[in-house]
Amino acid sequence: MSDEIRIEDLLLRTFIGINGEERRDRQDVLINLVLFVDTRAAGSTDDITDAPVNYRTLTKRIIDRVEESRFHLIERLAEEIASLCLEEPGVGRVRVSVAKPGALRFARSISVVIERGRRNG
């Protein structure tokens, strides 16, 4: 699948980190997604039922999961988001970027990028 649906700059707040204040106060996280899908059917019919994924519904699920959870590491948060994306039948692979602005002194942000696909079997 070479088509992509991108969800860019989704800014959310969650409990993330290992220090006391990070466990007590919500932190900003910036999420970017690339969903690898096949858009040919939707592109030819212009019918929402042929779309490979309902990205509004998926985004709402991601928002709920992120804002209702607690994480120590952005790596874990990225895995959770990737798993949610791969629950969508039309998504064959996903690239997830999670950034935590202001996490390091003198750096705009720290981020992790993962790519996950469906497992056969």
Residues present in the chain in total: 121
pLDDT given at position 22: 66
Cα-only R_g, the chain: 16
For the annotated catalytic residues, the residue numbers are 100
Given a cut of 80, whether residue 48 has pLDDT beyond it is yes
pLDDT given at position 121: 38
* Pairing state between β 109-117 and 3-16: unpaired
pLDDT given at position 109: 79
Q: Which domain holds residue 27?
A: 3-117
- Specify the number of domains making up the chain: 1
What CATH number is attached to the domain comprising 107?
A: 3.30.1130.10
> Which tokens belong to 57?
């519904």
Give per-residue pLDDT as tens, 67-115.
998 888 999 999 999 999 999 999 999 999 999 987 778 888 799 999 9
Of 9-13, 14-18, 45-49, 66-70, minimum mean pLDDT range: 14-18
Given a cut of 50, whether residue 63 has pLDDT beyond it is yes
The Cα-based distances of 12 to 16, 28, 66 in angstroms read 11, 6, 7
Report the predicted TM-score, pTM, of the whole model to 2 decimal places.
0.89
